[in-house]
Amino acid sequence: MTQVPPRKTLTKPTQTSTSAPKKAVRKPQAQASKPASTNAKSALGVADKSNLTPQVNVDTPSQADNKPKANPTPDLLAIKPDALATSLLGAAQAVSYVLDGVALPQALSRVFEQSKAETSTRGAIQDIAYRTMRQVGRADALITLMTNKPAEPPLLYCLLCCALTLLIKEPGVAAPYGEFVVVDQAVNAAASSAQLVFAKGMVNAVLRRFLREQESLLPVAMKQPAALWNYPQWWVDQCKAAYPQDWQAILLSGNQPPPLTLRVNRRQISVADYLQLLEQNAMTARVVGQSAVRLDKPVPVAQIPGFEQGLVSVQDAGAQIAVELLDLQDGMRVLDACAAPGGKTGHILETADVELVAVEIDVKRAERIHENLARLKLFATILQGDATRSNWWDRQPFDRIVADVPCTASGVVRRHPDIRWLRRKTDAAQLSVNAARILDNCWRLLKPGGRLLMITCSIWPIESETQAAAFATRSGAIRLPAPGQLHPTSDGNNDHDGLFYALFEKPAV
């Protein structure tokens, strides 16, 4: 993939001072200076609540004001490991880590390690955390309307965000939990935490007030761009400027849960036979590409038939287009220049008998390539190396090169909803500089008559079409037909992430 760790751009919502998705550093990049500290309310685009109506008079307690003086350590409520309260508290902690600049997958891993949560509870924590990151702009606006002071400590703010996310009704989407169950369990979550027990009454009051007043509160909250679209204001403005006709559909698609799309390993099983295997396991799916099968109902990876045996891999339908564009022939020498975690590497080897070199700068992420190829029963030469340099190269040119260059991952926010809140407006320009270096270096490694495929998972033109046009001009590359910019979409069979493809041929000597 093309994502690099998100920048730390937010502070905890109640403090002044602040990766897709998706991961540890995978390629070198010019490091930007640390952004100035900001208040998370303004980062989310929510105005000062004193200018909004109606006001709901719920004071946010502080620990100092509300701790019983006679009992500085109040008794905490014991909650069951599989209770919704446990999941709410874990999700709130993960969201809190994100507001500190930690990417959501890493935040969840930290919570799981700290809590020793059981598998079923981990699934619920993850589900609530991802839902919340898609609704945090709206939840923030509601909290601003319904409280007279900042919700402190940050864990309290995040618990309210998680609970409100579960209470906000989405058209055509069944609520995951009953309203009063959510309120009761959120109060229990607060009562079980030494940090939040003082605020359990406030949690109860805010959530019950929302249930009573939601028809009047939501229209006021939705006047704020961050609440209406659940993106920072700069993201909305940039999307409008880039895609005047399509910006609304692009933003809405990014707020939808992604499908579970599989890539069938046709070296081991045909698409038709795999569909039969799914049917035998009481699962239904549809074919959405040459090797792409989308499950009608997503399931955990461990429950996907044949996954551990290498029959299938998880890969977005749009990402599977890459190999189709390469026109691979047996015997070719192929470079996957920014290879981790190995999705395209595996797909190339499933398609043709080629000599494949996979380069990845990060040692740990290179291990993931080894793991994925072992599961698929495939082999490649995997090197730790910097794709902007060639000190790892054996001086044997390549027939085909895939350059999945570093980018903001703005096209995969439906899979990594935290990215929108962690990115800065300046990131795309900074990342495009390093991407250009990778393209220029890869061009030197390509045979005359060979082809280079540039890929990004970004929707910003500076990282995609502008980058491709500039590269073609300075390199003299022949530009071949390719899809160009794919907008993220959730429209029936045409369901994929936001990706960009540009295909270049090196002129023969």
* Residue 395 Ramachandran class (φ > 0 left, ψ -120 to 50 alpha, else beta): left
The alpha carbon torsion through 370, 371, 373, 377 (nearest 10 deg) reads 120
Helix runs in 318-397, H state only: 321-326, 343-351, 363-376
Q: Could you give phi then psi for residue 260, rounded to 5 degrees? A: -105, 105
Render 183-248 in DSSP notation, one character per residue: HHHHHHHHHT-TTTGGGHHHHHHHHHHHHHHHHHHHHHHTTSHHHHHSS-HHHHHHHHHH-TTTHH
Cis amide leading into 54 (omega within 30): yes
CB count, 10 Å around CB of 288? 20
Give the containing element (helix H, strand E) for 358.
Answer: strand 355-360
Chain-centroid distance of CA 184 in Å reads 30
Chain-centroid distance of CA 285 in Å reads 24
Give the containing element (helix H, strand E) for 392.
Answer: none
Report how far residue 131's alpha carbon sits from residue 463's, in angstroms, rounded to the nearest whole number: 28
Q: In this structure, are residues 363 and 384 in contact, taking their beta carbons and an 8 Å threshold? A: yes
By DSSP bridging, strand 489-491 and strand 355-360 are unpaired
Q: The tokens of 301 are what?
A: 């990876």
Spell 190-218 as b/e; 16+ CB within 10 A means b: bbbbebbbbbbebbbbbbebbeebbeebb
Three-class secondary structure assignment of 78-105 = CCCCCCHHHHHHHHHHHHHHHHCCCCHH
End-to-end alpha carbon distance in the chain: 33
The yes-or-no answer on residue 457 being catalytic is yes
Q: In this structure, are residues 456 and 405 in contact, taking their beta carbons and an 8 Å threshold? A: yes
Cα atoms in the Cβ-side hemisphere of radius 13 Å centred on 14: 17
Q: In this structure, are residues 265 and 312 in contact, taking their beta carbons and an 8 Å threshold? A: yes
Q: The tokens of 132 are what?
A: 């919340």
Q: Could you give phi then psi for residue 285, rounded to 5 degrees? A: -160, 170
Report how far residue 181's alpha carbon sits from residue 117's, in angstroms, rounded to the nearest whole number: 21
Q: Catalytic residue numbers?
A: 457
